[in-house]
Amino acid sequence: MTKTVYVLNGPNLNLLGTREPQVYGSQTLADVEQLCTEACARHGFTLVFRQSNHEGALVDWIHEAGRLHAAGQLAGLVLNAAAYTHTSVALLDAVKGTGVPLVELHISNVHAREPFRHHSYISAVARAVVCGLGVAGYGLAIDAIAQW
């Protein structure tokens, strides 16, 4: 049975390539999706790749991934919650409630940025955190999931 990897992206990641390229680089979200498609193909995974600026949509998708997890069909979830990383108890509760195996991802090194970015609600439920490696971190996160 082919397992699925979910890659979920939070607010403003639709602006990749144009938003603060000195922080986030010049690659677009479409480039990230292609990178994830290639990484999943290397490991025989199916990819579900999504982005939303709305917290509730991310919660719903985590629940959806949780149903696959309960059925033994989820390899893992890569979550770049963006600004919601630092504010969302709802995302924390969704991950806790579903038990999905999760890699928390940040394109930039959040620990070298503003102090409010140093706290993550997601880290407490993540198996791993990838941070500061640019969009290449997505492929590395999927490679890590393949080792679980």
What is the residue-wise DSSP string for the chain?
A: ---EEEEEE-TTGGGTTTS-HHHH-S--HHHHHHHHHHHHHHHT-EEEEEE-S-HHHHHHHHHHHHHHHHTT-EEEEEEE-GGGGGT-HHHHHHHHHHT--EEEEESS-GGGS-GGGG--SSGGG-SEEEESSTTHHHHHHHHHHHT-
Active centre residues (catalytic): 24, 106
